[in-house]
Structure 1
């Protein structure tokens, strides 16, 4: 039995090492931060956010304040028995995570879903991926990527599902395990949120559910690290909705790079054949 345990542990260690190496090579975790820079440098991308700034700020401040007033102290008291001196920090992280989830649920359902789609599509247009976007919506002529976006011709993306909320609630108790539990919780959220960030990209590609699942499985490490970075940014109090927009930009930048690499590879193979 001991030999079998060591064998399984060694296999899992090798698998984790391979996934970590793949994640580092993909550099997907950088895209949320590239999204911040790109968003800041392109004022036209600000319009979807600024058009909903007042309502989203009010929602963010209200939900976060409510959660810290009514949920932080009870959770800190419980975590004092499991986390000891780290209870205050762990409870704060948990409360921020809960606030972020509530804000995302409410805002994406009622306030910003269309704005995030516009931001994603506008970023793709700014990166010369117009052909990809034009299959799903009207794209006008011009130099301003946001002004070029016309009416959607495909159905809107599905909003946050009840199963996602239930899964989140099931993961919450992990935060009662000091440090390690919180890390695992964030990793699990990243694993879920990473592929969700490319839901619009998959829709634009016209991929079936099977195609999406196969692509995500093949790039699981990259999507997890992207999702972790994006999730941590969206945990920042009062700025989480702004980061929701910059994360949409980062996801679109990643999609644009994927498209360019796909288009470049066949061209290089063709050039190699001609050279021979």
Structure 2
């Protein structure tokens, strides 16, 4: 009996060690890639390029109205019931974790509705416009017509879309979100894990337009994402946290799109396997082998 217990402890220790080493490796890869910086770069690039504001401004009023309605509904009808449950497992932190959970749920609903019915074309225009501004017109021309002239305004060069835009929110993604919700019952750590899992899911979709323009099939996309799980999770986590901010989520949806386009432009321009930072974000990237 004692031998069985010792063997179980040894096995558990081995598994824990393997998981820890894997998590540390992913964290190091994410930090080295610098991918987590691109949502922040997107904010500054967006604010300094007024031509990119046009798609956002055209959708601002209806999306803000949608956001206000969804957030108000969720806090009126979902906050207190969830708080009543979380207070038993999270104690004094329940108020904070319930707010975060409710904002996450609101953000998901807003994204489902807005990306499918309000923002899809505007986000595609923004993504393509950034690529054109970063001298990647050849890539964009694979998915839309590019108008001649107006070289100082990339948005004015956006012609008819030739390929269907970003992937829409899928039932599979919604099911995965609902499955992960119970993690929030675990104090603090559960909420952190929940956000990280959401970040990973979010990261898998940030370059769907880029993959489309590159004419990659599903197998190529999945292989790429599998090889670069850590960088995309890092980007997706930062993007998810930004989009949790009430009412500012629409702005961050656009700045995150800008950040994703800047990342794609760097990958394309420097012919890299991934934006792997050598010491600092501005240094030369790892070349394709």
Q: TM-score, normalised by structure 2?
A: 0.89
- 228, 241, 257: which one aligns with 1:232: 241
Q: Distance in 2 between matches of 1:183 and 1:201?
A: 29
User: Which residue in the other structure is 1:223 paired with?
Assistant: 232
**In structure 2, do the counterparts of structure 1 residues 263 and 233 end up closer, same or farther at CA, with 3 Å as the change threshold?**
closer
**Partners of 2:183 and 2:17 in 1: CA distance:** 25
1:67 equivalent to 2:62? Answer: no
Is structure 2 residue 152 aligned with structure 1 residue 157? Answer: no
Equivalent of 2:195 in 166, 186, 190: 186
> Is 1:140 aligned to residue 125 of structure 2?
no
Deviation at 1:264, TM superposition (A): 11
The answer to whether the aligner puts 1:247 opposite 2:263 as a matched pair is: no
Deviation at residue 157 of structure 1 after TM alignment = 3.3
Gaps in structure 2 of 5+ consecutive residues: 1-6, 275-283, 285-289
SS of 1:154's partner is coil
Is structure 2 residue 45 aligned with structure 1 residue 38? yes
Question: Counterpart in 1 of 2:127?
Answer: 120
Q: 1:129 to 1:264 in 2, by over 3 A?
A: farther
Quote the residue 1:20 is aligned against: 27
Note the alpha carbon deviations across 1:159-186, whole angstroms, 9 max, x for none: 1111111111111111111100000000
1:81 matched residue in structure 2: 88
Alpha carbons of structure 1 residues 26 and 243: separation in structure 2 relative to 1, 3 Å? same
Aligned partners of 1:151, 1:168: CA distance in 2, in Å?
Answer: 34
Aligned counterpart in structure 1 of residue 10 of structure 2, from 3, 11, 14: 3
CA distance in 1: counterparts of 2:165 and 2:17, whole angstroms: 45
Task: Give 1:263 shift.
Answer: 7.0
CA RMSD of aligned residues (A): 1.5
Change (3 A) 1:92 1:206: same
Contact preservation (8 Å) 2:27, 2:230: yes
SS in 1 for 2:244: coil
User: What is the CA–CA distance in structure 1 between the aligned matches of 2:108 and 2:268, rounded to whole Å?
Assistant: 31
In the other structure, the counterpart of 2:181 is 172
Q: Could you tell me whether the CA contact under 8 Å between 2:167 and 2:208 is conserved in 1?
A: no
The secondary structure found in structure 2 opposite 1:158 is coil
Q: Structure 2 matches for 1:202-213, cutoff 5 A? A: 202-213=211-222
The whole-number CA distance in structure 2 between the counterparts of 1:229 and 1:219 is 16
Partners of 2:257 and 2:138 lie apart in 1 by 19
TM-score of the two chains, using structure 1 as the length reference = 0.94
Any conservation in 1 of the 2:165–2:209 contact (CA below 8 Å)? no
Q: Partner residue of 2:269?
A: 260
Q: Determine helix, strand or coil for the equivalent of 1:159.
A: coil
Write out per-residue CA displacement over residues 53-98 of structure 1, whole angstroms, 9 at most, x where no aligned residue. Answer: 1100100111111111111111111111110000100100000000
- Contact 2:130/2:261, CA 8 A, preserved across alignment: yes
